[in-house]
Amino acid sequence: MKKTAVITGGSRGIGYGCAKALGLDGYNVAILDINAEADYRENLDELTGLGIDWYYMQGSTVIREDRERFVENVVEKYGGIDVLVNNAGVAPKVRQDILEMTEESFDYVVSNNTKGTMFMTQAVVLQMLKQPVKGLRRGVIINISSSSVTTSSTNRAEYCVSKAGITALTMVYADRLAAEDIQVYEIRPGVIDTDMTKVVHKKYSDLIEQGVFPIARWGTPDDIGGAVSAFCTDKFIYSTGNYIDLDGGFHIKKL
């Protein structure tokens, strides 16, 4: 039986790169996304053209009923869940200095990025625990955080906080689930060319030209998808709670 991968926020950008990579690896792909299916028909049609079996549901990781219904639908369609990629997330609607940040903005970002990851993982893990171990493990969870975990952005502090929370969730879930044969990993993207980064495209393009990024180019959703694909193999079977920076070397400290 084919394995099934769940990707949140998989209609576009990084999530779509992950969905495509895992689909090409032979997984059924199930996407939960706040966007309407019709809005990204071109991407979904590409999955079909690549021979990938996919399921799509419009919904939010923040809403319990959406999470529960999505898991139920995926299990009914495919029989189980083997991989979860927690990718769904948001940026602040308005970038503001930390001294001007509103509670509404903090709640919006942290709820979507951290709370959504926390409870989507819980819902999927409870399903995984009902399933037998396949091969060397029962399941894989991959959390998409950000280089903002360790880089200060004082005009979007709520985003940094929300992504740091994902790092903590990676650690705690990895600890809790190791004995259940479920491994948990984290990917920290840098500047990835997506709709979310269009508003700051010139800023980061200038930084790339200035040599801030040792690998002097924008990252792509396919770069992230490749790492997700690798984590889902058995090549990392003796590791859990680990993270990888996919940031063009931005994390390297320079004198």
Q: Among all residues, which ones are annotated catalytic?
A: 159
Strands 182-189 and 54-58 turn out to be unpaired
Name the pairing type of β-strands 83-86 and 54-58: unpaired
CA atoms within 13 A on the CB side of 222: 2
Task: Report how far residue 29's alpha carbon sits from residue 47's, in angstroms, rounded to the nearest whole number.
Answer: 9
> By the 8 A CB rule, do 53 and 28 touch?
yes
Beta pairing partners, 140? 83, 183
Bridge partners for 139 per DSSP: 182
Contact 14, 194 (CB under 8 A): yes
Task: Report the distance separating Cα 116 and Cα 113, nearest Å.
Answer: 6
Eight-state DSSP code of residue 220: -
Neighbours of 147 (CB within 10 A): 20
3-state secondary structure of 6: strand
Decide: helix, strand or coil at residue 252: coil
Tokens of residue 158, six digits:
């709520």
